[in-house]
Every structure is written in C-alpha cells, then in structure tokens.
Amino acid sequence: MAVADPSESQRLSARVRAGTSADHDAAQGSGFLDALAAGRLPRDAYVDLAAQHWFIYSALESAAVPMSADPVAGPFVRPELARVPALAADLGHLAGPDFAERIVALPATVAYQTRLDEVAAHSAPAFVAHHYTRYLGDLSGGQYLGPAIARAYGLNGEGHRFFVFDGIRPPSFRARYREMLDDVAWSSADEDAFLSEVREAYRLNIAVLAELTERWTS
C-alpha cells in the first residue's frame, strides 16, 4: 500500500517555519536592522554588523568542510552560498585590508561561534539547522536589506557583496531548499534535534542583534 504524502502543515519545512515564526519576528523587531536600512545609524554600525557576520560565517563555513561528506548535510553545502569571501571583500573595502587585525567579536558573537564549533561540524541536524537559519534568511529578508543599506550608505557595487548571491535566483532556490528539507529521511529524534537547533540559532542571532542595538542606539 502506498504511503500518502504528508499534508503541507506536516512537512518539515512548514513545521520549522511555523515553530520559529515568533523567533523570526523577534529578530526583525530588534530595530537595529531597520535603523541601518533607513540610514539612521553611522556607517561604522554597518561595518560592525559585517564584522560580526565575518566571525559567524567563518565558523559556519569551517564546519561545512567536514560536513560536505555527510550523506545528509552534504547536499546542503553549496559553494555559491559561501559568504566569507564576500564579507572579506566588504570589510576590506569598508575597513581596510588589515580589517582582520582590528575587528572584535561581541560577547554574543563569541557565544554563537562557540556553539557552531561545538555542534555544527559534528551533527548533521545541527549543521543543517544553522545553515538553514543563516542562508535562507540571507536569501529572504537579506535581499531587501542589502539594497536598502547600499542606498543609505552610498555603496555603489562595493561594500555590500555579502547580500549578493551570484548565480542564484532566491525564490527558486528557497523553494528547492525547502523541498530538500522535506526529503531528508530523518528519525523523529533527528527532526526534533533540527527544530531545537534552529530555535537556538535564532536565539544566538537575536543576542548578537541586541548587543549591536545597545552599542549603536543607546
């Protein structure tokens, strides 16, 4: 007897979106990103955001190296998603070629890095959770945030490469990514671990945005 496909609401991609909607709203509600998009903060606040991203994505993309051989996590590792080269170019333009010697990770960013180092290189559900949270966010709201920041701070082609994904059409890529999530043959325990780690990824991101908000708006 054929097994019926799960209903739309039962699919993992739908469950993770529904289960983290409040976390997503909390991240968007920090006010920091809106203030950047409107140009209400100094340019150095955007440089600070790029610096924190550089630390976070360096950890995530380091974890992608061993996870690329994993039968579950490996298909999610796509070279065109890599953000570290773009962030290095942005920071080189914005802060100078010696940016790596001068930028400092916020305490919340260090906690984020530590979590990635602990779990993302060792657990497929954890890696995919952080991968999903970061890159699908970049290919969703990031596609509106990037051009707004470029306009606000006069960045004409340089300094905002982080938001530009060459060779990717965001809507179709997001749809295919969610199909991949739905196709993963995870156990219930693995699915629970994935969903829990997505919530943790949101919590860590919200903490970084909160520290940036305190630094630049208080």
**Where would I find the H helices in the chain?**
12-19, 21-28, 32-37, 43-67, 84-95, 99-102, 107-115, 124-131, 137-138, 142-152, 170-183, 188-217
Asked if the model's pLDDT at residue 2 lies above 60, the reply is no
Instruction: Work out the pLDDT band at 6, boundaries 50, 70, 90.
Output: low
Tokens of 63: 């974890």
Q: What is the DSSP letter of 96?
A: -
For the record, the structure tokens of 165 come out as: 């994904």
CA distance linking residue 52 with residue 106, whole number of Å: 7
For residue 75, the 8-state DSSP code is G
Tens of pLDDT, residues 51-105:
999 999 999 999 999 999 999 999 999 999 999 999 999 999 999 999 999 999 9
pLDDT at residue 20 in the model: 85
Distance CA 46, CA 94 (A): 9
* CATH number corresponding to 30-217: 1.20.910.10
Give the domain ranges of the chain.
Answer: 30-217
Question: Distance (Å, rounded) from C-alpha 216 to C-alpha 181?
Answer: 37
For residue 135, pLDDT beyond 90: yes
Q: What is the pLDDT of residue 7?
A: 66
Tens of pLDDT, residues 44-64: 999 999 999 999 999 999 999
- Condensed to tens digits (0 to 9), the pLDDT of residues 154-163 reads 998 899 999 9
pLDDT in the model for residue 19:
87
Angle at 51 between CA 98 and CA 130, to 5 degrees: 135
CA atoms within a 13 Å half-sphere pointing along the CA-CB vector of 21: 6
pLDDT given at position 4: 44
Per-residue pLDDT band at 5 (split at 50, 70, 90): low
Q: Is the pTM of this model over 0.75?
A: yes
pLDDT score at 29: 67
d(CA 54, CA 200): 19
Residue 3: is its pLDDT beyond 60? no
Over the range 122-139, which residues count as b (16 or more CB within 10 Å of their CB) and which as e?
Answer: ebbbbbbbbbbbbbbbbb
